[in-house]
Homo-oligomer: A and B are copies of this chain.
Amino acid sequence: MENSWRIRMLVSYDGTGYAGWQIQVGGPSTIQQVIEEAASKLFDHPVRVVGSGRTDAGVHAVGQVCHFDVKKDPTRYNLTYALRRNLPPSIVPRRTWLAPHDFHAQRSAVDKTYQYRILNTPQPNPFDVRFASWYRQPLDADVLQLFADKIHGKHDFMSFQSQGEEDRTTVREIFECRWERKGKLVLCSVRGSGFLKQMVRNLVGTMIGLYLKGQSPQDFEDILKACDRRLALAPAPAEGLFLKSVRYPPHLDNKCRKL
Please give the residue numbers on chain A whose beta carbons come within 8 Å of chain B beta carbons, in ascending order: 12-14, 60, 62, 84, 89-92, 94, 123-127, 129-131
Judging by beta carbons under 8 Å apart, are A92 and B12 in contact? no
Judging by beta carbons under 8 Å apart, are A129 and B89 in contact? yes
Judging by beta carbons under 8 Å apart, are B12 and A125 in contact? yes
Interface centre among A12, A62, A126, by most chain B C-beta atoms within 10 angstroms, is A126
A92 to B121 CA separation, bound complex (whole angstroms): 13
Given A84-B124, A130-B130, 7 further pairs, Cβ under 8 A:
A12-B127, A13-B126, A14-B126, A60-B126, A89-B126, A92-B126, A94-B123
A193 to chain B, nearest CB (A): 27
Q: Contacts of A89 on B, CB cut-off 8 Å?
A: 124, 126, 129
A123 to B89 CA separation, bound complex (whole angstroms): 11
A255 to chain B, nearest CB (A): 24
A131 to B92 CA separation, bound complex (whole angstroms): 16
Interface centre among A12, A13, A84, A123, by most chain B C-beta atoms within 10 angstroms, is A123
With CB as the reference atom, state the residue of chain B lying closest to A130. B130
Q: Contacts of A126 on B, CB cut-off 8 Å?
A: 12-14, 60, 89-92
Judging by beta carbons under 8 Å apart, are B94 and A127 in contact? no
Q: Contacts of A84 on B, CB cut-off 8 Å?
A: 123-124
Judging by beta carbons under 8 Å apart, are A92 and B125 in contact? yes
A68 to B251 CA separation, bound complex (whole angstroms): 66
Judging by beta carbons under 8 Å apart, are A129 and B94 in contact? no
With CB as the reference atom, state the residue of chain B lying closest to A16. B126
Q: Contacts of A90 on B, CB cut-off 8 Å?
A: 126, 129
A192 to chain B, nearest CB (A): 23
Judging by beta carbons under 8 Å apart, are B127 and A131 in contact? yes
3 closest A-B pairs (Cβ-Cβ)? A14-B126, A89-B129, A90-B126
A124 to B84 CA separation, bound complex (whole angstroms): 10
